[in-house]
Structure 1
Amino acid sequence: MNLFGKYHGHLSEATRLTLTGSTFYSKWNHSGQIPDRAVATGLIGYFGSIDPNEGGETSRTNLNAELVTVTPNNSVIRHQLFYGKYDFELYSNFTFFRADSINGDQIRQKENRHLWGYNGSFTNNITVGSKELTTTVGIQYRQDLTKETELSHTKNRNKTLEQYQFGNIHEINAGIYVNETLPLSPRFTANAGVRIDVFRNQYEDLLFNPASKAQASTTIISPKLNLYYTPSAQLQIYLKSGKGFHSNDTRVVVPQNGRRILPAAYGSDLGVIWKPFPRLLVNAAAWYLWLEQEFIYVGDEGVVEPSGQSRRQGIDFSLRYQLTNYLYLDADVSTAKPRALGETEGQDYLPLAPVLTSAGGLSWQGLGRFSGSLRYRYMADRPANEDNSLVAKGYLVSDLQANYSFKKQQIGLSVQNLFNNRWKETQFATESRLLTETAPVNEIHFTPGTPFFARLSWSLFW
């Protein structure tokens, strides 16, 4: 079930109000992550399962209100209030019978979360000499409360064998930022900003009697600097740089008393936007990202493991081309070289980090009552472990969308995986043991990608 509603209107000529609300509920059974060897030996089919009791259910309700006012001197004031209610229960079995040869290794992850917050900003233009300086000042606040967040060892969904994690989480993130944009000359523009984030994490461990409660807080400052040079209406060169961070699980943050829980991320990219003629737009950029600390979540053990510093660098390329008055071509290609720092060469691969991806296709619109697209997405092979001895296989999948519109109606045909390619959607290097095996085996485990799937839809507009 999926419901969505939106209201957009003007309270006055200068103020507009947008209200949105949505809710959904979903319940499913699934095959989970299955090992390559189980399919190769014929133990199960490509869409089969080892533990038929994997699955779960989830629901989420969101409410959002946004108020935007333009003042008489063209300043812009934005207010946003939001609330979310999130329930989640998932049964998984990643290792099958590796830890428990009798009952199996099924786990339950469960959460009941309330979150709410506020985003506000004020944008103003002032004249500095002969230049116009655009200043944005903003504040952000978000608070999360979870009740009885759980990770447990279970059997057949209905029997709890052991609780690994069980507690209440209280998280607060408050931030303030300033963003400045100044045209230094008709062709050169500078954009600089800084934000300060404060995190407060509290965990109440219900496995203790009485329950134990602890908290940790930390602060991080994130600056940025972007430069734009526009020698003509057809060409812009830019250099973007900034600092961000990687957040972490409260259940890891609190035991460390807030130390090393917001590792910094430094990134930059040098690019060009070029429009050689009206129907062609090209964007190319070389980029770099350094991360102070990588984290790996081990879901079946309820821990987050640090894995050291990392570096990623690569090149992105985008193309938008209008072939005819009705036909459009687009393509995005991204290459990357991700590596762990401080490791021996050949042992420094970042598991599952993409090395080559691409997406694009053909779209048609304005051709009478017809519109639609033929799209593709591509992922190249990538290392699944640190020495690249296990490889996560890539894929190429195509989708089709075709629409026919009437005055107030539209009929649509949507086809996923048009050519019915067999592909693996998620892949992990996992050590598992099947019931018939005497020792664990480390190999690729995967969830199968969607096969050929067609859906016909009818829409009514008023």
Structure 2
Amino acid sequence: MQAAGIPTLQEITVNSGSQDLTGIADSANEGTVTAKQLANRPLLRPAEVLETVPGMIVTQHSGDGKANQYFLRGFNLDHGSDFATQIMDMPVNMVSHAHGQGYMDLNFLIPELVGSMKYRKGVYAAEDGDFATTGSARIDYLRQLDKSFVDIGLGQHNYRRLLAAGGHQLNDLNLIGAIEVAGNDGPWEQAENLEKYNGVLRLTSGTAANGFSLTGMLYQADWTATEHVPERAIASGEIGRYGALSANDGGHTHRYSLAGDWAQTGANGASKASLYVVDYGLNLFSAPSGYISGSQGDQHEQADERTTWGGQASHSWFLGPNWKDTEITAGLQLRHDRISKVGLYTTENRRRTGTVREDRIDETAVAAFFAARTQWNHWLRTNLGLRRDQIRAQATALGGQYNMDNGGSVDAGQTSPKLGVVFGPFNLLGQTEFYANWGHGFHSNDARGATARTNPQDGSATEAVPLIVKAKGSELGMRAAPLPGWNSSLSVWQMELASELVFIGDEGITEPKGASQRHGVEWSNYITPADGWIIDADLAWSQARFKQANPDNGGRHVPNAIPLTASLGLSADHGGAWFGGLRLRYLGAYALEESGEQKSTPFWMANLKAGYRISPQLQLTLDVLNLFDKQANDIEYWGGSCTRSETLGGTCGGGIDGRLVHPLEPRTFRIGLRATF
């Protein structure tokens, strides 16, 4: 909504021209990324598309078929526990997942097909619910493909990729089809043997505001993983820098989905609706603690089989000048996860040797939300929101010696108020707006933890955790356009979380800990100094602390909460023969355990993409990933583990606490050839 005759500062949007800018921002930390920013961005992994969200860090501590590790706003998001992502209105985060709550696997994403990504940070949007503690992203694929193309990619470590995409238009209907086949062994001494198959078929009509789309997606992957390992195993020479502590970790996964959406916008209002169904499965084999249990190793399998379906519908009313150009939106959301089997099994070389636990879960989430945006005068607008979430889960124990007493029904709800106030724009530093935001949000916990009575490992008594973990946040921000082509935002924020999630190295899981609080400062810039040039620069500082000290060491640090990140990107494409992009990323040292005495090693790295158009139909690209061959770690943890030699030598006991690392991949060259038709 934009009030007639009232100047507004447009949402920060990556695009080729100001005429395509969309929306009005309700906070200093929201925006839209389009295909133009992604076109010349060097990517090691598909999920690095999310690094276009200022301050977001995407890493990996295992194989490329497993969900990535994410960090934002002083949160170790693990595999997605506190950041919500949707693709074509389908939720990606998995509730009550075999590996971790909120598991967000984006390996099925095809970056070349991304048409737009809208992101928000904080808990201030009424439309956002579960997992949107630090924020959310909504990714949409292209609705029309102007030219068909074939991409062929080859690189070191047996990397190969084929992507073929084509489009056809019939009157107002657009059909897009794409097939991706990829493989990679990586630099690991134990070859990754990644085999990835991906397919998309999409039918669209009209635009996202007035039209519909129907999208079918199929994805499956198999891989062998080199997990994080004790740093001392590399230092002693027991394994090489890219060696594996345990053989034949990894797994296989699939995701098949069908989604449809419809929207209609008129002078007096707008309506939209969407439906989806997802068939998902994962069998993940890992041994994060090595050989604590003996010379056969600690490998276990986490298995998940489910069908997820749901949808949402909303309507907006544009009330016009007599009502201060107020826009009122009301909506409903529904999600149901039918998890036929979710289990944890002991294994040897991917063969099951025992069942720790096996469960069946039915989980339903229903939400209603309401928002009212009002332009009170030329310098003041407000956004009021209210959201009600209700979650009900039924867990049934199917197996496990100490698990059969677990299970039952659990029901929880939360009402989340939201408030945003925007002052401006003012003629200060060009066009400037000031923001104040406050809101409540939450993430859900695993239904098995919310219905637990006994520890499935040993049968000891345990307490159930809440099904809903409350969050409360606020921030003050400013967004300005100091010069033509330069958008800058600055914000100060704080967040309180009722229960923290912390990685437990000797078990390879996350578990609820005490309440925490965070605060931080973010500064992001998007600059287009001339046609064809894009510069983006981000700086984020935060502090994360438990409210109560750890009784064992007296520390209040939240492990793996990165306090300082920075990024700088440059891309150039004037439409001529040459084009490319360069990205630098910095990760500051972070506490590995509560006392803060053990810290990770800070590092920076760079990725480069260079391209040459041989002809209008043929182009060649070169990606150099980890350009300066930095010898750093993609991720570091602190936890108990044993190497094989320590177990055989009788020096391990119940595990040795130490640094667990997964190294950055070394400098890697990849070439690509694209032919368009």
Q: Same fold (TM over 0.5)?
A: yes
User: What amino acid is aligned across from residue 207 of structure 1 in structure 2?
Assistant: G
Which structure has the highest strand share of the two?
A: 1
Would the alpha carbon gap of residues 68 and 447 (structure 1) be closer, same or farther in structure 2, given more than 3 Å must change? same
Equivalent residue in structure 1 for 2:444, among 247, 260, 266 = 247
Residues 418-437 of structure 1 aligned to structure 2 (within 5 Å): 418-437=627-646
For residues 56 and 74 of structure 1, the distance between their equivalents in structure 2, rounded to whole angstroms, comes to 52
State the SS of the aligned residue for 2:232: helix
For residues 301 and 95 of structure 1, the distance between their equivalents in structure 2, rounded to whole angstroms, comes to 7
Pair 1:442 & 2:639 matched: no
For residues 600 and 263 of structure 2, the distance between their equivalents in structure 1, rounded to whole angstroms, comes to 47
TM superposition shift of 1:325: 3.4
User: What amino acid is aligned across from residue 272 of structure 1 in structure 2?
Assistant: M
User: What amino acid is aligned across from residue 239 of structure 1 in structure 2?
Assistant: A
TM superposition shift of 1:206: 0.5
Equivalent residue in structure 1 for 2:357, among 155, 165, 173 = 165
- Write out per-residue CA displacement over residues 247-306 of structure 1, whole angstroms, 9 at most, x where no aligned residue: 111110123798632121111111111111113221110010111111336587587633
Would the alpha carbon gap of residues 329 and 303 (structure 1) be closer, same or farther in structure 2, given more than 3 Å must change? closer
Pair 1:407 & 2:603 matched: no
For residues 504 and 448 of structure 2, the distance between their equivalents in structure 1, rounded to whole angstroms, comes to 13
Partner residue in 1 for 2:203:
7
For residues 505 and 229 of structure 2, the distance between their equivalents in structure 1, rounded to whole angstroms, comes to 16
Partner residue in 2 for 1:152:
345
> Does the 8 Å CA contact 1:216/1:258 hold for their aligned counterparts?
no
> Does the 8 Å CA contact 2:212/2:260 hold for their aligned counterparts?
yes
Residues 161-310 of structure 1 aligned to structure 2 (within 5 Å): 161-207=353-399, 214-232=408-426, 234-255=431-452, 260-296=466-502, 298=504, 301=507, 305-310=511-516
Would the alpha carbon gap of residues 20 and 423 (structure 1) be closer, same or farther in structure 2, given more than 3 Å must change? farther
Pair 1:373 & 2:581 matched: yes
User: What amino acid is aligned across from residue 294 of structure 2 in structure 1?
Assistant: S
For residues 14 and 59 of structure 1, the distance between their equivalents in structure 2, rounded to whole angstroms, comes to 31
TM superposition shift of 1:22: 1.8
Q: Percent identity?
A: 27
Pair 1:27 & 2:222 matched: yes
TM superposition shift of 1:128: 6.4
For residues 297 and 417 of structure 1, the distance between their equivalents in structure 2, rounded to whole angstroms, comes to 27
User: What amino acid is aligned across from residue 178 of structure 1 in structure 2?
Assistant: F
- Write out per-residue CA displacement over residues 293-352 of structure 1, whole angstroms, 9 at most, x where no aligned residue: 113365875876331110110100012223443333211110001111122796100000
Q: Which structure's CA Rg is the greater one? A: 1
> Does the 8 Å CA contact 1:374/1:401 hold for their aligned counterparts?
yes
TM superposition shift of 1:169: 1.5
CA-based RMSD of the aligned residues comes to 2.4
TM superposition shift of 1:130: 5.3
> Does the 8 Å CA contact 1:107/1:300 hold for their aligned counterparts?
no
> Does the 8 Å CA contact 2:445/2:465 hold for their aligned counterparts?
no
Equivalent residue in structure 2 for 1:329, among 523, 530, 535 = 535
Partner residue in 2 for 1:84:
278
User: What amino acid is aligned across from residue 146 of structure 1 in structure 2?
Assistant: I
For residues 203 and 297 of structure 1, the distance between their equivalents in structure 2, rounded to whole angstroms, comes to 24
TM superposition shift of 1:82: 1.0
- Write out per-residue CA displacement over residues 39-89 of structure 1, whole angstroms, 9 at most, x where no aligned residue: 011111110011112111111112211111124x44111111111111111
Query: Structure 1: which 5+ runs fail to align?
Result: none
For residues 372 and 237 of structure 2, the distance between their equivalents in structure 1, rounded to whole angstroms, comes to 62
User: What amino acid is aligned across from residue 576 of structure 2 in structure 1?
Assistant: G
State the SS of the aligned residue for 1:255: coil
For residues 375 and 305 of structure 1, the distance between their equivalents in structure 2, rounded to whole angstroms, comes to 34
User: What amino acid is aligned across from residue 317 of structure 2 in structure 1?
Assistant: N
TM superposition shift of 1:214: 1.5
For residues 168 and 456 of structure 1, the distance between their equivalents in structure 2, rounded to whole angstroms, comes to 46
For residues 671 and 217 of structure 2, the distance between their equivalents in structure 1, rounded to whole angstroms, comes to 24
Equivalent residue in structure 1 for 2:560, among 324, 344, 352 = 352
User: What amino acid is aligned across from residue 245 of structure 1 in structure 2?
Assistant: F
User: What amino acid is aligned across from residue 115 of structure 1 in structure 2?
Assistant: T
For residues 164 and 297 of structure 1, the distance between their equivalents in structure 2, rounded to whole angstroms, comes to 20
Would the alpha carbon gap of residues 164 and 298 (structure 1) be closer, same or farther in structure 2, given more than 3 Å must change? farther
Q: Scaled by the length of structure 2, what TM-score is found?
A: 0.64
Q: Scaled by the length of structure 1, what TM-score is found?
A: 0.93
For residues 5 and 251 of structure 1, the distance between their equivalents in structure 2, rounded to whole angstroms, comes to 36
> Does the 8 Å CA contact 1:297/1:303 hold for their aligned counterparts?
yes
State the SS of the aligned residue for 1:392: coil
> Does the 8 Å CA contact 1:249/1:304 hold for their aligned counterparts?
no
> Does the 8 Å CA contact 1:92/1:108 hold for their aligned counterparts?
yes
Number of aligned residues: 458
For residues 101 and 313 of structure 1, the distance between their equivalents in structure 2, rounded to whole angstroms, comes to 43
For residues 205 and 467 of structure 2, the distance between their equivalents in structure 1, rounded to whole angstroms, comes to 43
For residues 392 and 570 of structure 2, the distance between their equivalents in structure 1, rounded to whole angstroms, comes to 47
For residues 348 and 495 of structure 2, the distance between their equivalents in structure 1, rounded to whole angstroms, comes to 42
State the SS of the aligned residue for 1:97: coil
For residues 509 and 577 of structure 2, the distance between their equivalents in structure 1, rounded to whole angstroms, comes to 54
For residues 400 and 301 of structure 2, the distance between their equivalents in structure 1, rounded to whole angstroms, comes to 20
TM superposition shift of 1:461: 3.8
Partner residue in 1 for 2:669:
454
Would the alpha carbon gap of residues 404 and 120 (structure 1) be closer, same or farther in structure 2, given more than 3 Å must change? farther
TM superposition shift of 1:450: 2.0
> Does the 8 Å CA contact 2:449/2:465 hold for their aligned counterparts?
no
